[in-house]
Amino acid sequence: MVREPILTCRGLVKRYGRVTALDHADFDLYPGEILAVIGDNGAGKSSMIKAISGAILPDEGEITLEGKPVHFSSPMRAREAGIETVYQNLALSPALSIADNMFLGREIRKPGVLGSWFRMLDRRAMEKHARDKLSELGLMTIQNIGQAVETLSGGQRQGVAVARAAAFGSKVVIMDEPTAALGVKESRRVLELILDVKRRGLPIVLISHNMPHVFEVADRIHIHRLGRRLVVIDPKEYTMSDAVAFMTGAKAPPEPALAA
Ligand SMILES: Nc1ncnc2c1ncn2[C@@H]1O[C@H](COP(=O)(O)OP(=O)(O)OP(=O)(O)O)[C@@H](O)[C@H]1O
């Protein structure tokens, strides 16, 4: 059986004035995989992810989700379609509780007129869902679901962001540098969480500059260079220094036949 990608980009172009951030970029994500996206600073990784997650509209090209073309005019539209993104600068509200953060922008209302007319929140339902989700992902070291996010450690915050993405991302979870600001122990926990999310069947796109992390968890590595996909490699067949050499242009990439 031919494996079909769940998410694709073909020929994405994005220009910012004279800068071409995406220069006919292609991308393929397959069901159930962790696809790492690596590339030098300014290679266009974030621009590609922003196009996929509805944060920017590409000037040209096509994005498909489950074989159908999609046009996300905002991050909300991408989320509604099942694509959740954990951004580098976490979009959590520090003063709000863990449960409130989990449901930010899609709060559960009370049933009946209390919810539909008076917009009253069903806090009990939100706290229960939040608690279920966090314990499902082994995050119940967080004692109190009503605790403000600003009182959590960096790793715990990242955990809440990952749990939120896993809870609502029905099709794809995208993580932009999820371990960049974390210590060794916290990074480890977040990597385990990423693997948990994969075990639960969700494909993950992991943008990272951290080669050991990438090589540890990725099934395939998409190497981005000068605004487009250069090649996709199997981490079992190449070393980290190979990957860095392809990424920086120090070494020619393998034959495109391996790129699929
Ligand atoms: N809003 C913007 N306005 C102008 N230029 C931009 C904008 N966003 C990105 N660029 C430019 O587009 C190019 C690609 O940037 P992008 O952030 O996509 O790269 P990146 O691979 O994610 O880099 P990094 O690893 O440094 O985050 C860069 O030259 C950048 O300066």
Q: For residue 208, report the distance from its CA to the centre of ligand 1, in Å.
A: 15
In a domain, 249, yes or no: yes
Residues in Cβ contact with 191 at an 8 Å cutoff, skipping those fewer than 6 apart: 179, 213, 216, 217
Give the tens place of pLDDT for each residue, 36-77.
Answer: 999 999 999 999 999 999 999 999 999 999 999 999 999 889
Taking the C-alpha atoms of residue 168 and residue 59, their distance in angstroms, rounded to an integer, is 28
Confidence of residue 257 (pLDDT cuts 50, 70, 90): very low
Residues in Cβ contact with 123 at an 8 Å cutoff, skipping those fewer than 6 apart: 99
Q: For residue 49, report the distance from its CA to the centre of ligand 1, in Å.
A: 11
Token code pair at residue 29: 């994500």
43 CB within 6 A, ligand 1: yes
Residue of higher predicted confidence among 131 and 228: 228
Residue of higher predicted confidence among 187 and 65: 65
Q: What is the number of other CB atoms lying within 10 angstroms of the CB of residue 227?
A: 23
Give the tens place of pLDDT for each residue, 75-130.
Answer: 889 999 999 988 766 667 777 788 777 777 777 777 777 666 766 777 788 788 77
Q: Which of 37, 46, 207, 228 to mutate to test the pocket of ligand 1 (most atoms within 8 A of CB)?
A: 46
- 219 and 115 in a single domain? The answer is no
In a domain, 2, yes or no: no
Q: Which contacts of 252-257 are long-range, i.e. CB under 8 A and separated by 24 or more positions?
A: 253/223, 256/231
ipTM of the complex: 0.96
Q: For residue 51, report the distance from its CA to the centre of ligand 1, in Å.
A: 12
Residues in Cβ contact with 104 at an 8 Å cutoff, skipping those fewer than 6 apart: 91, 92, 93, 96, 164
H or E stretch covering 184: helix 184-199
- 65 and 129 in a single domain? The answer is no
Tell me how far the alpha carbon of residue 11 is from its chain's centroid.
21
**pLDDT value of position 139:** 60
* Domain span at 124: 96-147
**pLDDT value of position 144:** 73
Flag whether pLDDT at 220 surpasses 80: yes
Residues in Cβ contact with 142 at an 8 Å cutoff, skipping those fewer than 6 apart: 98, 134, 152, 156, 159, 160
- 246 and 165 in a single domain? The answer is yes
In a domain, 152, yes or no: no
Arithmetic mean of pLDDT, 124-145: 72
Supply the pTM of this predicted model.
Answer: 0.86
**pLDDT value of position 147:** 79
The CATH number covering residue 56 comes to 3.40.50.300
Flag whether pLDDT at 12 surpasses 90: yes
pLDDT > 70: percent of the chain:
90
Tokens 């639960």 -> residue: 200
Q: For residue 22, report the distance from its CA to the centre of ligand 1, in Å.
A: 9
Give the tens place of pLDDT for each residue, 192-208.
Answer: 889 988 998 899 999 99
Flag whether pLDDT at 215 surpasses 50: yes
Q: What letter does residue 3 receive in the DSSP assignment? A: P
- 182 and 237 in a single domain? The answer is yes
Flag whether pLDDT at 236 surpasses 70: yes
Taking the C-alpha atoms of residue 210 and residue 77, their distance in angstroms, rounded to an integer, is 30
Average of per-residue pLDDT values in the chain:
86
**pLDDT value of position 181:** 74
- 188 and 221 in a single domain? The answer is yes
CB–CB of 72/134 below 8 Å?
no
Whose Cα sits closest to atom 5 in ligand 1?
Answer: 16
- 175 and 50 in a single domain? The answer is yes
Taking the C-alpha atoms of residue 73 and residue 168, their distance in angstroms, rounded to an integer, is 19
HEC secondary structure over 102-132: HCCCCCCECCCHHHHCCCCECHHHHHHHHHH
In a domain, 153, yes or no: no
- 250 and 166 in a single domain? The answer is yes
Q: What is the number of other CB atoms lying within 10 angstroms of the CB of residue 86?
A: 26
